[in-house]
Structures are given as structure tokens and as C-alpha cells.
């Protein structure tokens, strides 16, 4: 993936994000890549740009789904050049915040939901709908997932790891996942890239703030409470 300088729109969002303020070239070498970083570091913007460059609906879904104002072309999508050893046409772009709109769109176009296990997505809990999508629609292609843990309990996150394992082992699916979940980041063999500081930096998952803060909090929550609550006293 290359961000081309000649197509960057200076002063236009999302090119005001430090990560996207300069050209870069990025090669993915593992079936699963996690993007981590503080809020505002550019994770969601990068995934949206990649989705647009591939031809997926920027509001969520694949090439065949068109709904909502999110379908407007992403300026980042026009600036990204993507290439593969084997051309990608299938896949899915999941946006947790617009998944409700995606489920409504399927009902509006008269979907039978056979491809989602036979039950309308609005007829399930948020987490159940996510897992139905993962189980039934994720097979081969490129899957861009923005915070898939948003609707998943810790137990369901473990179930999602099992799905990732099966699909990555088959060798026909590639995942790029923006997440804050230390559970997901523990997936063995995955690449973890931090976007903090306006750079792409490879980390071991134990080096991420997500892992360290969660570990330290669970080991001694009272220490955090003393610090946090003292501010209001």
C-alpha cells in the first residue's frame, strides 16, 4: 500500500492526521494485521480509505452494498495505491458505528438473510449479529474491520479469534483490524502496527499500551482509583 504524494489533498481531512501528512509505503506480510493507537491516530480513516480504494462501500459492506451518505468517495481512497500478488475483489468492510444502517439496508432491499444464517440481523443482539456476519459471510478476500470487539463480550471475542484462526489457516483471507482489545491483539503470529506519533511502528502485543494498562489495572485496580479519584477531591 502506497500513499501517493501527487494525490494528497493538502489541508483536507484526513490528510491533516499526522500519519497521513506524508507519503508512505507499507507492505503486509501476515494474514492478520492489527492497527492500534490512541483515538485520533488515524486507524478508522486509514481503513475507510483502503475500503474506498478496493471498491467497498465506505459506509460498510462490500462492492455490492450502497447505502447512506457514507457512500461518498473518500479522498484518501483516491490517494492510496494497493497491490497484491493475487488480485482481491471479495471481502467486507465492517464499521461498528454504521452496522445498524447496514442491517437496515439489507431489510430494505429484501434480503432473505440466508447468507447470514437465516435470521434478520435486527432480530439478534448486536454481538450475535456480528458473529453471524463473521461466521457466514467471511470466507475469502480482504476484510477490513473497525473495532469488531465493540459489540462482543470477552467470551465472544474468543469465539471471533477461533474464526480468525480458521480463515487465516485456509490461506484465502487477509484481515486488517483496528482494535483496542488486548484479547484480539494476542492472536499468535499477527502483525501489530501502532499509528501513534504519526508513524507505523511494529510492536509485540505485550508492548502495546492496551496490554500494559489492562494488565496493570487488573493486577491492582486500587492504585488506579487512588490516582483517578484524587483529582476530584
- Digit-coded pLDDT (tens) for 22-32: 888 889 999 99
Question: What's the pLDDT at 50?
Answer: 92
Residue in 22, 29, 30 with CA at minimum distance from that of residue 3: 22
Q: Coil, helix or strand for 150?
A: helix
Mean pLDDT of 73-90: 81
Distance between CA 57 and CA 147 in Å, rounded? 17
Query: What does the pLDDT read at residue 103?
Result: 78
> What nine digits make up the cell of 220?
491492582
> Quick one: which of 110, 112, 145, 142 has its CA closest to 131?
145
Mean pLDDT comparison of 16-30, 31-45, 72-86, highest-scoring range? 31-45
pTM, two decimals, is 0.88
pLDDT of residue 69: 52
Q: Average pLDDT of 181-199? A: 95
Question: What is the tens place of the pLDDT at every residue in 126-149?
Answer: 888 888 888 878 888 899 999 999
What average pLDDT does this structure show over 43-54? Answer: 91
Average pLDDT over residues 30-40: 94
CA–CA dist 68, 214 (Å, integer): 36
Give the mean pLDDT of 61-69. Answer: 65
Grid cell locating 226? 487512588
Side-chain-facing half-sphere of 210: CA atoms under 13 Å: 22
Helix 221-230 and helix 209-219: axis angle, to 10°? 100
Between 198 and 109, whose confidence is greater?
198
The pLDDT of 12-39, averaged and rounded, is: 91
* DSSP state at residue 59: T
Among left, alpha and beta (phi > 0; psi -120 to 50; other), residue 25 is beta
Reported as a pLDDT band with limits 50, 70 and 90, residue 233 is: low
Q: What is the pLDDT of residue 17?
A: 92
Average pLDDT over residues 63-87: 73
pLDDT at 71: 47
Interhelix angle 99-108/126-137, nearest 10 degrees: 70
How many helical (H) and strand (E) elements, i.e. helices and strands, does the chain have?
Answer: 8, 9
8 Å CB contact between 53 and 77: yes
The pLDDT > 70 percentage for the chain reads 93
Predicted pLDDT at 58: 77
What does pLDDT average to over the chain? 86
Percentage of the chain lying above the pLDDT 90 cut: 43
Amino acid at each position: 500500500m502506497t500513499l501517493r504524494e501527487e494525490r494528497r489533498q493538502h489541508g483536507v481531512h484526513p490528510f491533516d492526521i499526522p500519519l497521513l501528512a506524508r507519503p508512505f509505503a507499507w507492505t503486509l506480510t501476515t494474514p492478520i494485521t492489527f492497527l492500534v493507537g490512541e483515538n485520533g491516530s488515524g486507524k478508522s480513516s486509514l481503513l475507510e480509505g483502503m475500503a474506498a480504494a478496493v471498491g467497498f462501500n465506505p459506509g460498510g459492506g462490500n462492492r455490492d452494498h450502497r447505502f447512506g451518505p457514507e457512500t461518498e468517495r473518500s479522498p484518501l481512497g483516491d490517494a492510496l495505491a494497493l497491490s497484491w500478488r493475487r488480485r482481491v475483489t471479495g471481502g467486507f468492510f465492517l464499521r461498528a458505528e454504521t452496522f445498524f444502517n447496514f442491517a437496515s439496508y439489507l431489510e430494505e432491499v429484501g434480503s432473505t438473510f440466508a447468507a447470514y444464517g437465516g435470521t434478520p440481523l435486527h432480530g439478534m443482539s448486536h454481538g450475535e449479529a456480528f458473529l453471524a456476519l463473521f461466521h457466514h459471510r467471511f470466507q475469502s478476500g480482504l476484510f477490513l474491520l473497525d473495532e469488531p470487539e465493540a459489540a462482543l463480550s470477552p467470551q465472544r471475542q474468543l469465539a471471533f479469534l477461533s474464526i480468525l484462526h480458521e480463515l487465516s489457516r485456509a490461506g484465502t483471507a487477509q484481515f486488517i483490524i483496528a482494535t483496542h482489545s488486548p484479547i484480539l491483539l494476542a492472536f499468535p503470529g499477527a502483525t501489530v502496527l501502532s499509528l501513534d506519533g504519526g508513524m507505523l511502528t511494529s510492536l509485540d502485543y505485550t508492548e502495546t499500551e492496551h496490554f500494559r494498562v489492562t494488565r496493570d489495572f487488573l493486577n491492582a485496580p486500587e492504585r488506579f482509583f487512588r490516582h483517578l479519584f484524587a483529582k476530584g477531591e
